[in-house]
Structure 1
C-alpha cells in the first residue's frame, strides 16, 4: 500500500504596523491548515499588541480562525482614528480655497477652472 504524500508546509508572510511609520514583517513556514491566530502566535505577537489591530489577508478582512493558504500575506493594521474624508475637509479648510485643490497652480490670466 502506498503512503499518502506529506503535505508541504505553508509559506506565509505576516506584516504588522504597531506604530505610525513602522512596519514589521516575518516570513513563516506553518503546518498545513494553520489559521491567522497561529500565524500571529508564530510571529511572536502578544495579545496586548493584537487587541489594537484589525487583521486581513491580502487586504480583505479576516478573523483569527480563518484558514491560511500557501503564499498568503496576513496584515495587521491599526484602526483609523479619524475619518479620512473629515481629515481632508479639515486640511482644505485650514489651507484656504486658493492655496489648495486641483486648480491652485493655474496660469495667471487663465479662466476660472483652467
Structure 2
C-alpha cells in the first residue's frame, strides 16, 4: 500500500485527505477510492481535470500513482484571467486620459 493526498477546493470549503491505495492504482481509481466524490456531489471524477503537484495528468485512467503523490482536482475557472487583465488594462488607460 502507498499513501497519497487528495486536495479539492470547492467554492465554500477546501479538503485535504490522506489515504492509501495498492501499488499500481491509476490516478482516476485512486480519486474514486478517496471518497471525495461523496463529499462533493457536484464533482464528476470521470471527466474533471486532475493533476499531481500542479501538473495536469493527461490520461488519469492509465497513469499510476506513486507514494506521497498529491492528487489535485481542478474545477473550471469562473473568469478567463487573460480577459480580466485586458479589462483592467483598458480601465487603467482610460483613467490616465484627461477628460475631453
TM-score (norm 1): 0.64
Q: Deviations over 1:18-65 (max 9, x none)?
A: 32x632111011111111122211221158512573101111111331
- Larger relative contact order, structure 1 or 2 (CA cutoff 8 Å, min sep 6): 2
Q: Which runs of 5+ in 1 are unaligned?
A: 1-8, 101-114
Matched, 1:61 2:52: no
Matched, 1:50 2:44: yes
Say which structure is richer in helix: 2
Q: 1:72 to 1:43 in 2, by over 3 A?
A: same
When the two chains are superposed, the root-mean-square deviation of aligned CA atoms in Å is 2.5
TM-score (norm 2): 0.72
Task: Give the length in aligned residue pairs.
Answer: 90
Higher-Rg structure is 1
